[in-house]
Homo-oligomer: A and B are copies of this chain.
Amino acid sequence: MSSELSAQEPRWRRLPEERPGQILSAALAVFGERGLAAARLDDIAKRAGLSKGTIYLYFPNKEELFREVVRHTVISQLEEGERMVSEKTTSATATLTEFMQRYWAFIRSSQFAPIFRLIHAEIHNFPDLARFYGEEVVARGHRLVSGIIARGIASGEFRQMDPAVAARMLSAPFVMHGLWCTHRECFTSVAKKSDEQVLDELMQFYLYAIRPCDANQRACGTVTP
């Protein structure tokens, strides 16, 4: 009924190496759209091009699959971040500029928004994952930025300030603008802006916010000890 003459294309192939990855990325997509509870394993299976039973060959249950989706995605992002870090030692401003460009690209990638949504949606039910994310991703990212900022302060490129605070003040608008841009149809504030424009606005605003107040560098902004 299905295939007319079908030169015996096998109905399916054994791909035990690739399955976990296929399942995880399909699951990320479906979880990201529907949320954990409303996501159906049948939909994940269909999206991954296999059947529901197969998922249970690789993951013990839905909850553990969810955990693995988050861990896997977050960790792969971390590793990508690591690569970004081990870089040249130009001026702090140049380093920061490049960091912001890459950070924005990461935030606008297809992985960021769903993971953000999932973690915040399930923060009560999976406090361990949220903790892991908060420490291994958010705090870690903040520490990375902190380092650049501290270097810039020392060199006189940036004004005197708490680098940890400065890191949060960079991260926060990037993340929020990422969310807004992911749903431009809802958030009219960024509806007519391109990603490049938004990045530009973010960079200009931030660089102004951390620059020394006068050319010949003396501490002026209030310093948080």
Interface residues in chain A, defined as those with a beta carbon under 8 Å from any beta carbon in chain B: 33-38, 116-117, 120-125, 127, 130-131, 133-135, 138-139, 142, 159, 161-162, 164-169, 171-173, 175-177, 179-180, 183, 185-190, 200-202, 204-206, 208-209, 213-214, 221-222, 224
Q: Which of B127, B159, B185, B189 contacts A139 (CB 8 A)?
A: B189
Count of chain copies: 2
A163 CB to closest chain B CB (Å) equals 12
A67 CB to closest chain B CB (Å) equals 15
A178 CB to closest chain B CB (Å) equals 10
- 10 cross-chain CB contacts under 8 A: A120-B121, A121-B121, A134-B188, A161-B205, A164-B189, A165-B201, A200-B224, A201-B224, A204-B222, A208-B222
* A204-B224 contact, Cβ under 8 Å, with A169-B173, A176-B172, A176-B176: yes
